[in-house]
Amino acid sequence: MSLPPKAPPKRTLTLRDVSEASGVSEMTVSRVLRSRGDVSPATRERVLIAARTLGYVPNKIAGALASSRVNLVAVIIPSLSNMVFPEVMAGISATLESTGLQPVVGVTNYSPDREETVLYEMLSWRPSGVIIAGLEHTDAAQAMLQNAGIPIVEIMDIDGTPVDSAVGISHRRAGRQMAEAIIAAGYRKIAFLGTMMPHDHRARKRLEGFEEALSKAGLTLVDREFYNGGSALLKGREMTAAVQNRTPDVDFLYYSNDMIGAGGLLYCLHQGLDIPGKIGLAAFNGVELLDGLPRQLATMDACRYEIGCRAAEIIAAAGSNNVVELTPTLQRGDTIR
State which H helix or E strand residue 105 sits in: strand 102-107
Q: Which is nearer to a copy of itself, 177 or 240 (CB)?
A: 240
Question: Which CA distances in Å does 29 have to 45, 59, 292?
Answer: 11, 13, 54
Among the listed residues 260, 224, 228, the one whose alpha carbon sits nearest the alpha carbon of residue 243: 224
Give the three-state DSSP class for 313. helix
In 219-311, DSSP assigns E strands to: 223-227, 252-255, 280-282, 299-300
Q: Which does 226 bind (CB under 5 to 8 A by kind): DNA, a copy of itself, none?
A: none
Binding residues for a copy of itself, rule: CB under 8 A, are 1, 4, 8-10, 12, 55, 57-62, 64-65, 70, 80-81, 83, 86-87, 89-90, 93, 102, 104-105, 107, 120-121, 123-126, 143-144, 146-149, 161, 230-237, 262-263, 266, 270, 288-289, 291-294
Half-sphere exposure of 206 (CA within 13 A, CB side): 27
Q: Which is nearer to DNA, 1 or 57 (CB)?
A: 57
Q: Which is nearer to DNA, 62 or 80 (CB)?
A: 62
Nearest-approach distance from CB 140 to a copy of itself, in angstroms? 9
Q: Which does 4 bind (CB under 5 to 8 A by kind): DNA, a copy of itself, none?
A: a copy of itself
User: By rule CB under 7 A, what count of residues binds DNA?
Assistant: 30
Q: Which does 241 bind (CB under 5 to 8 A by kind): a copy of itself, DNA, none?
A: none
Instruction: Give CA–CA dist 291/226, Å, rounded.
Output: 25
Q: Which is nearer to a copy of itself, 229 or 277 (CB)?
A: 229
Q: Which does 27 bind (CB under 5 to 8 A by kind): DNA, a copy of itself, none?
A: DNA
Q: Which is nearer to a copy of itself, 60 or 216 (CB)?
A: 60
Q: Which does 24 bind (CB under 5 to 8 A by kind): DNA, a copy of itself, none?
A: DNA
Instruction: Give CA–CA dist 288/258, Å, rounded.
Output: 10
- Choosing from 12, 147, 161, 220, the residue that interacts with DNA (CB under 7 A) is 12
Report the largest interatomic distance among the alpha carbons of the chain, rounded to a whole angstrom. 85
Q: Which does 229 bind (CB under 5 to 8 A by kind): DNA, a copy of itself, none?
A: none
Contact status, residue 232 vs residue 171, Cβ threshold 8 Å: no
Taking CB under 7 A as the criterion, which residues in 38-97 touch DNA?
38-40, 42-43, 58-59, 62-63, 65-69
Among the listed residues 235, 178, 239, 166, the one whose alpha carbon sits nearest the alpha carbon of residue 203: 178
Q: Taking CB under 7 A as the rule, does residue 14 contact DNA? A: yes
Instruction: Give CA–CA dist 184/178, Å, rounded.
Output: 10
Contact status, residue 194 vs residue 257, Cβ threshold 8 Å: yes
Among the listed residues 119, 121, 148, the one whose alpha carbon sits nearest the alpha carbon of residue 134: 119
Q: Taking CB under 7 A as the rule, does residue 241 contact DNA? A: no
Q: Which does 67 bind (CB under 5 to 8 A by kind): a copy of itself, DNA, none?
A: DNA
Q: Which does 16 bind (CB under 5 to 8 A by kind): a copy of itself, DNA, none?
A: DNA
Nearest-approach distance from CB 233 to a copy of itself, in angstroms? 3
Give the three-state DSSP class for 191. strand
Nearest-approach distance from CB 6 to DNA, in angstroms? 17
For the chain, the 3-state helix, strand and coil shares in percent, each to the nearest 5, are 45, 15, 40
Q: Which is nearer to DNA, 15 or 183 (CB)?
A: 15
Q: Which does 147 bind (CB under 5 to 8 A by kind): DNA, a copy of itself, none?
A: a copy of itself
Contact status, residue 103 vs residue 132, Cβ threshold 8 Å: no
Residues in the chain: 337
Residues forming beta bridges with residue 194, ordered by sequence position: 226
Contact status, residue 168 vs residue 307, Cβ threshold 8 Å: yes
* Residues that bind DNA in the complex, under the rule CB under 7 A: 12-16, 24-28, 30-31, 33-34, 36-40, 42-43, 58-59, 62-63, 65-69
